[in-house]
Amino acid sequence: MELPDTQLFNYLILPLLIAVARIFDVSIGTIRIISVSRGHKLVSAILGFFEILVWLVVINKVMTDATNVFAYIGYAGGFAAGSAIGIWMEEKLAVGNLIVRVITRSDPTALINKLRLKGYGVTKVIGHGQHGEVDLVFAVIKRSNLEEVVGIINRFNPKAFYSVEDVKVVRQGVFPQRQSHRALARPLRKGK
């Protein structure tokens, strides 16, 4: 049984369905790649199964009507949008850990105290940079806390150089509790 308006279906509805399916499978693929890089084997395998299943259905539909340029446009547009949406979803999920490194020539005591007061584990090391002695401040944090930590860095040491990297594995450590235990945080005294 054929739909009453075949042209409407072929040149509008079908390309839109293809685009939506591609958005879905590429978004899943983006999150799967991130899961692979973080060593989440089972999650990566499950996401990979659904990613390829959707892709096979979509590519079959596109190849069945190989002359429909609108299907190609839907396919490519869905891929592009899926990439952007996948990255956005990963940022919103904020799964995993990061290491934040702060390098500063200014006294980092107030910054360290504030981070510790908020429940972050912080390590300070004295180093030597191109222009003399510097302090290096390290903190391994949950990805979901990055905005807060960067805000603290900018407030207490706006000229500090800092970098942020993914951390694949974390064992033990000091992280903020869901319910604040600020009384347990030990402030750093000057000179330590």
Q: What is the 3-state secondary structure (H, E, C) of 103-161?
A: EECCCCHHHHHHHHHCCCCCEEEEEEECCEEEEEEEEEEEHHHHHHHHHHHHHHCCCCE
Among candidate residues 187, 191, 189, the one with its CA nearest the CA of residue 116? 187
Task: Please tell me whether the overall predicted TM-score, pTM, comes out greater than 0.75 for this model.
Answer: no
Render pLDDT for 170-179 as a digit per residue (tens, 0 to 9).
Answer: 666 666 766 4
In the prediction, which pLDDT does 46 show?
Answer: 95
Class in CATH terms, 97-184: alpha beta
SS3 category, 189: coil
Residue 163, token pair as written in the block: 């970098």
In the prediction, which pLDDT does 7 show?
Answer: 82
Annotated domain spans of the chain: 6-93, 97-184
Residue 182 near residue 117, CB atoms below 8 Å? yes
Element (H, E) at 34: helix 14-37
Low-confidence ranges of the chain (pLDDT < 70): 1-5, 169-175, 177-192
In the prediction, which pLDDT does 156 show?
Answer: 92
Rounded Cα gap, residues 149 and 136, in angstroms: 15
In the prediction, which pLDDT does 176 show?
Answer: 76
Largest CA distance in the chain: 82
